[in-house]
Amino acid sequence: MSEPYECQTSCWQDIKGSDALTEHSGEPQVWQGGGKLQLLADAPVTPDTVGNYVHNEIQRVMGPSGQQTSVLYSEIRKRGSSATQNPYLLTPSTTALQGDLYVSYWIKLQPDFLEKLGPNNWWVLFEWKTNAQQRLITYILVDRQTRPYWYLKTDDLSAGPAKNFWEVSNHTAPVPVGEWFKFEFFWHRSSQHDGRAWQAINGQVVFDRFGSLLGGNDPIDRIMLTQVYAGGSLPLYQWVKDIEIWDGFPCGDGTPCGPKLTVPQ
């Protein structure tokens, strides 16, 4: 990890080195933009103090295959405000041609996840925003009986409180806690019925919504590829490995690439 830099109420941090499997090094290049960690304390910070709020490191842990592996560990330690968060942020060019995108990674949430969140709370897993502050965002929500479930919506943040365009929930798909699971998300933006937002967990499709999906000429300028952003008590943390970014489904249209191949008919 690089030292934090360009600090104000957040700092930037780079992941250095290369991937032994793909030999890729440096920032990912998605739609002519790069990627880096945003240590968003939402309070005045310096490279020496930002770690009091949010922290990232590369750790050696037991991975999803049961072998030791290197992973990204991300944590919120202290809040500067309710907006304190710790995303790995892609910053595509708003003048580049943007198309479909598929992302996947393995993620493990802290074992006391439900105790830290408590009832009627939330955890953001993944999101992106457009230049005009329209957003797609997927959550793990916790109901009043501390039962977790999946929730996905699009909204408009451009003026005052968020205005929802649409929202969907899934109370039946399992929410793994304290164990590795594979997260996959695909989207196709459109103002017509062919827009698509698709999410799978461990190969099980959680959402597959067709219809208008923030179409038009408003480009995406931020993709929070991984995210630690939640309510509840601190510390909040997770582990992530094997991030992949594709311009479409790598295993065929609508086919999960995880161990279970559960596709809705």
Q: According to the model, what pLDDT value does residue 179 have?
A: 97
**What three-state secondary structure class fits 113?**
helix
- Distance, in Å, from the CA atom of 135 to the CA atom of 162, rounded to the nearest integer, reads 10
Contact 86, 236 (CB under 8 A): no
Looking up tokens 């009832």, which residue turns up?
A: 119
pLDDT averaged over 10-residue windows placed end to end, the chain, 265 residues: 97 89 81 96 98 98 95 98 97 96 96 98 98 98 98 96 96 97 96 95 94 95 98 98 92 63 39
The tokens describing 195, both together, are: 């827009």
Phi then psi for residue 51, to 5 deg, are -65, -15
- CB–CB of 220/98 below 8 Å? yes
Q: List, in sequence order, every residue forming a beta bridge with 237; answer none if it has no partner.
A: 75
C-alpha span between 229 and 227 (Å, rounded): 6
pLDDT of 256 reads 60
**Token pair in block for residue 150:** 């999946």
Six-digit token string for 185: 């998300």
pLDDT of residue 261: 45
Q: What is the dihedral of CA 50, 51, 53, 54, to 10 degrees?
A: 110
Task: Give me the pLDDT at residue 263, please.
Answer: 39
Measured CA to CA in angstroms, residue 111 lies from 51, 236, 237 at distances of: 22, 10, 10
| Predicted local distance difference test score (pLDDT) of residue 262 | 42
